Structure 1
Amino acid sequence: MCAVTSDATATTTATTTTASDRAEVLKIVDAFFGAFVSGPGCGERMDGLRALLLPQAVVVRTCGLEPAVMGVEDFIAPREALLTGGTLEHFREWPVEGRVEVFGDIAHWFGSYAKAGTQDGEPFTGRGMKTIQLVRTAGGWRISAAAWDDERDGVELPPV
């Protein structure tokens, strides 16, 4: 509850959802995916990603394994090393289809994504689903949590 009136009925102090809230959330989602591109400018993209995340944000990878729960640097550092290490080339991730829900000062994006690149000289592609939770702060919308699961035997997205 954000506030309680004297007669114990709940009221909210959150601002009304607007089209600009949805647009800002989508802009952040696009920037999140846009950070994962190999090649020049990776350091700047990772710094941009850090700015999108709350310092205490949690990121979880499932992918049929025991969930890996990461803080911001535990998530970013190995990805930055992979994207700049030379074994992963022409890599990028992008959102395919998703939906945004906003209520007051919380928001959520849930959708499918795709990725493609060349690792150790071998081209690859992949798809999966991501969930990104956001909160409104004094500095604007920030990611508070994200989780993803990729396709694998028995867990597949419908064909596009």
Structure 2
Amino acid sequence: MRTEEKMADEKAIRELIERQFGCLSWSPGVSADWDTFRFDFFPATPLYPAIRPVKQQSVNAFIERLSGLAETKLRSFHEKVLGTEVRVFGNVAVAIAACETVENETEVSRGVEMLLLVKDADQWRIAGQAWDSESDEVKVPSYLWG
């Protein structure tokens, strides 16, 4: 793969990740952009949230759960990318994204998301995603702080 192509792919993946985190934010009177969020995934993409024991979710189930929370106890949710690492090989890639989340304008948390991506018809899409939350025992690595 030529360097220019690889750099363009890495840029496209970083933009996809930024878009994902950006459209997953909401506040009273402003909804998350669920259609854009859903578009970046293949239809059967499995998601693995940080909750244990592990329970695979579909993208639609994830959206349904968060939409319900947005209408009840999670009145605002803002997520931003702190830094990413991307590795591309042909039409497959992996990305590691550190993020910061602010819930209800007061509760701040950080975590790391791992994404498996596939390029199809010149479009990068997420084929699998899992994430975990930072804790006292497990910190977000400093190399992911942008």
Between Structure 1 and Structure 2, which shows a larger proportion of strand residues? 1
Q: Equivalent of 2:65, from 78, 82, 86?
A: 78
Question: What pairs up with 1:82-101 in 2 under 5 angstroms?
Answer: 82-83=69-70, 85-101=71-87
Normalised to the residue count of structure 2, the TM-score between the two structures is 0.84
What is the CA distance between 1:86 and its match in structure 2? 4.8
1:35 aligns to 2:18 (yes or no): no
Q: Which runs of 5+ in 1 are unaligned?
A: 1-14
SS of residue matched to 1:134: strand
Structure 2 gaps of 5+ residues are none
1:55 aligns with 2:43: yes
TM-score of the pair, normalised by structure 1: 0.77
* Cα drift, residue 153 of structure 1: 4.0
Offset at residue 62 of structure 1 (A): 2.8
* Counterparts of 1:101 and 1:114, CA distance in 2: 22
| Corresponding residue of 1:108 | 94
CA contact (8 A) 2:24 2:37 kept: no
Of 26-35 and 74-83, the range deviating more from structure 2 = 74-83
Post-superposition CA distance 1:64-99 (Å, at most 9, x none): x2112111211211112223x153234211111120
Aligned twin of 1:130: 113
Q: Measure, in 1, the Cα distance between the counterparts of 2:127 and 2:65.
A: 20
Identity %: 24
Give the 4+ runs in structure 1 shifted more than 6 A.
none
What is the CA distance between 1:139 and its match in structure 2? 5.6
**Residues 51 and 109 of structure 1: is their aligned pair in 2 closer, same or farther, counting only changes over 3 Å?**
same
- 8 Å CA contact 1:62–1:68 kept in 2: the answer is no
CA separation in 2, counterparts of 1:157 and 1:109?
A: 15
The total of aligned residue pairs comes to: 139
Deviation of residue 158 (structure 1)?
Answer: 5.7
Q: Distance in 1 between matches of 2:113 and 2:86?
A: 12
- For 2:49, the aligned partner's letter is R
